[in-house]
Amino acid sequence: MQEVEFAREALRFAQMFLHMGVTNTWLYRMLVGRLYYATHYLGRRLLIEIGMQPEQWSANVHQRTLDELYRHYVTMGRMTPEAWRALNELRNLRRIVDYQLAVPVRLR
């Protein structure tokens, strides 16, 4: 599954820079974007696994992915609400780093 390998590489890349002590805001913005898309693709893969076809969605794909994950995974007890909230928070952070350039970005 390409999505899993992409997520592993994105996480490895982010960890490498953080372990090196890199504190560059531009790099943080880039890392947040890559980590978000890694989780987004994993979410889409989960939906494909249950027979959905997110590649055919034409509008609000990111929100719909979250909505469908909640409906099919959280409400069924297959994903914790905390994990879902983390995905949603990462999506919101990705919007900030991509569209609100005046907002300072720091990783915890």
Checking if the pLDDT of 3 tops 70, the result is yes
Q: Looking at residue 39, what is its pLDDT? A: 96
Of how many residues is the chain composed?
A: 108
Q: At 47, is the secondary structure helix, strand, or coil?
A: helix
Q: Looking at residue 107, what is its pLDDT? A: 61
Domain count of the chain? 1
Residue 106 counted as domain residue: no
pLDDT level of residue 28 (50, 70, 90 thresholds):
confident
pTM of the model as a whole: 0.85
Residue 107 counted as domain residue: no
User: What is the tens place of the pLDDT at every residue in 66-97?
Assistant: 999 999 999 999 999 999 999 999 999 999 99
Q: What is the C-alpha separation between 82 and 94, in angstroms, rounded?
A: 18
Residue 38 counted as domain residue: yes
Give the range of the structural domain holding residue 58, as residue numbers without chain letter.
2-99
Q: What is the C-alpha separation between 53 and 82, in angstroms, rounded?
A: 25
Residue 72 counted as domain residue: yes
